[in-house]
Structures are given as C-alpha cells and as structure tokens.
Amino acid sequence: MRVISGSAKGRPLKAVPGMGTRPTTDKVKEAIFSMIGPYFTGGNVLDLFAGTGGLGIEALSRGMERAVFVDADKKSVEVVAANLQAARLSEQAEVYRNDASRAIKALSKRDLQFELIFLDPPYKMTAIEELLHSMQELGLLADKAIAVVEHDAVNRYADEIGGLALRKRVEYGEIAVSVYDKVAPAT
C-alpha cells in the first residue's frame, strides 16, 4: 500500500494488523480519484471508518487542505496517525477514535463542512443512507460536496439520498464504489 499521487506520492502506508480491516486496493483508489478529482485546490475531507487512512491521505496528497479521520478501532487510529506521519501530512489532519454517528454529531458542533467524504465501513454495515442523511441534516456537507461510498457489490444504495444524487456506481469484483454529489436545492 502506498500513496499513488501528489505531494506524498510513493510513500508507503502501513496496514492495520489482523483481518478486521481491508485496505482499499491501489486499483480501486486510482479509479476513485479518477472519478472525483484527480486533484484538488483546498477543502476539507472526512475519512469516516478510516481504517488505514489511505483514502483521506491520498486526498491530502492531491491537494485537499485539511482532513478529519475517524475510526472506532484503537489499532486503526494508531495506524492512521503513523501513516500521516510517514506521508508528512500530520499537521493537516485530526484523528479521532469514535463511533461514526457520534463523531458526525461532535463535528457538527464545530461548524465544520466537508467538500469530500469517504465512507468505507465494514461491509456488514448497511446504515450508510442514515449516516449521509444525518451529515446533511447536521450541516456537514459543503455546497458542492462529494460523498464516496465503498461497499459490498451486493448492496445497492438509493439513487438519491436526501440532497445527494448518485453520479456513478462502479463494481470491482466483490467491491462497489458509489459516488454521490450534493445537489443544489430547487429555487
């Protein structure tokens, strides 16, 4: 595992020990950034269910300004911090150990908004639509926010979730990636 492009290109990233986390493969990561970027000029990224932090770190490397990483697992949080240090991006990031729904409530109290959100939960979790609704209701989504959901290919999420519209859904074997764009409210 490594950073594919940008300021931290080529830097190796550690995996979380054990079988509880499955890092996004370089092939899928490259495909995701081809769909949403590939590069950015500032903005905030939220890497919820961060695991190794690979997606958020890639976004920082490609030009996002700040990142918040959240994972409920202690080992994952430690690995994210180590990977940020290895990529020399620690000063642009905050890492928290927390449950996803509690984390988004805490973030909303800070009046933060995110231009890019990664949701890569354990595949058995299917509450993604509820989390996206909550993020929108709590005001965490910036005007032109993009939400990227990595999930089991057997799951198919709605084409519209609150104020988010499905841009693209792509399958890579057992993995699927669904990309949503925040839609401007009708006037």
Predicted local distance difference test score (pLDDT) of residue 132: 95
Tens-place pLDDT, residues 40-51 = 999 999 999 999
Task: Give the gyration radius of the chain's Cα atoms.
Answer: 15
Predicted local distance difference test score (pLDDT) of residue 104: 96
Cα 22 from Cα 51, distance rounded (Å): 8
Q: Shortest CA distance to 69 belongs to which of 97, 91, 88, 40? A: 97
DSSP 8-state symbol, 2: B
Q: Shortest CA distance to 48 belongs to which of 102, 112, 89? A: 102
| Domains, the chain, with CATH or none | 44-182 (3.40.50.150)
- Statement: the pTM of the whole predicted model exceeds 0.75: yes
The model's confidence at residue 21, banded by pLDDT at 50, 70 and 90, is low
pLDDT tops 80 at residue 22 = no
pLDDT tops 90 at residue 143 = yes
Tens-place pLDDT, residues 56-94 = 999 999 999 999 999 999 999 999 999 999 999 999 999
